[in-house]
Amino acid sequence: MRVEPITNPKHIKAIKKLLNDKPRDRLLFIMGTNSGLRAQDILSLKVSDVKGLNVGDRITIKEKKTKKYNVIIINEEVSEALSYFFETINPKDSDYLFKSRKGANYPLTTFRVTRLVQSWVDEINLNINAGAHTLRKTFCYIQRTQFGVPWEVISKRCNHSSPSITRRYLGVKEEEVEQILLNNI
């Protein structure tokens, strides 16, 4: 079963509020919904990759799936989440940013992120099939619906190999298609 995006900005805010006392998880949610990267690529970040970054700074990563290079540009929200993370947690530079709480210096797994995301949406009573990819799909959906970003730009951002993949991410609903039929030309 495919995971779905979080489509309502109120639900996004509710999850951020829910995670206020969990700096690692809050940063994961915010970075995931603000970058459009796959969870596995975000999970590979180390503390040294992000420490001291400011709004507008960028991180270049090599995507595990595509082997293509991509960037994260630190926006205001990610910067604030990073600041809160570093104020609350005092990690070593060599630590994974999203370190597992189980023993040595290992990152969270994508499977664990899936369980976390589903627990967050369940906790705010949002009835969707959620997982690690929900963060990426939420980024795509919000970029299209709230900011009017064309699907071609979203496709390039996500390094998708075909337009059909991007269209699945965009969450176009039947009501939207019917709404255009009311437009006068």
Catalytic residue of the set 26, 46, 136, 157: 136
Is residue 102 annotated as part of the catalytic site, yes or no?
no
Is residue 96 annotated as part of the catalytic site, yes or no?
no
Catalytic residue of the set 24, 99, 137, 160: 160
Cα 20 to Cα 176: distance, rounded to the nearest angstrom: 34
Is residue 65 annotated as part of the catalytic site, yes or no?
yes
In the numeric block, which tokens belong to residue 163? 């337009």
Which residue type sits at 70?
A: N
Is residue 160 annotated as part of the catalytic site, yes or no?
yes
Catalytic residue of the set 2, 10, 65, 67: 65
Catalytic residue of the set 24, 99, 137, 169: 169
Reference 79, options 138, 127, 27, 126; nearest CA is 27
DSSP code for 100: -
**Residue reference for tokens 């970040």:** 45
Catalytic residue of the set 38, 99, 137, 144: 38
Which residue type sits at 32?
A: G
In the numeric block, which tokens belong to residue 174? 């039947």
**Residue reference for tokens 């630190």:** 74
In the numeric block, which tokens belong to residue 6? 């979080």
Is residue 136 annotated as part of the catalytic site, yes or no?
yes
- The CA-based diameter of the chain, rounded to the nearest angstrom, is 63
Question: How many alpha carbons fall within 13 Å on the CB side of residue 85?
Answer: 25
Is residue 169 annotated as part of the catalytic site, yes or no?
yes
Catalytic residue of the set 133, 137, 144, 157: 133
Q: Which residues are marked as active site?
A: 38, 65, 133, 136, 160, 169
